[in-house]
Amino acid sequence: MWLLNIYCVFAILSIKGAVRKVVGVGKLKIKHLDEIPYLFARLGEPGIKDRVIEQWKSASKDRHHPVSVHIMDESSNLARCAM
């Protein structure tokens, strides 16, 4: 009986480890969705405008994605929505 219990513990630990790995890989795969320009799609959500502005100010214009530059450019009408 104790052998069965040890086997179950090892199986549960293995499954837990596999699930943690899958969750970690999943978070890595969708991490880019929490960065501009992808954040622009979520501007209606609370706190997103602040994150967009923070990320925009964190780097110079030439280091941003061309879509972000187009949207956040001062001459763009879209910048008013994001700011």
Provide the percentage of residues in the chain whose pLDDT is more than 70: 84
- What is the biggest distance separating any 2 CA atoms in the chain, rounded to whole angstroms? 74
Q: Nearest-CA neighbor of 82 among 38, 33, 18?
A: 38
pLDDT digits (tens, 9 = 90+) for 3-25: 567 777 778 888 998 999 999 99
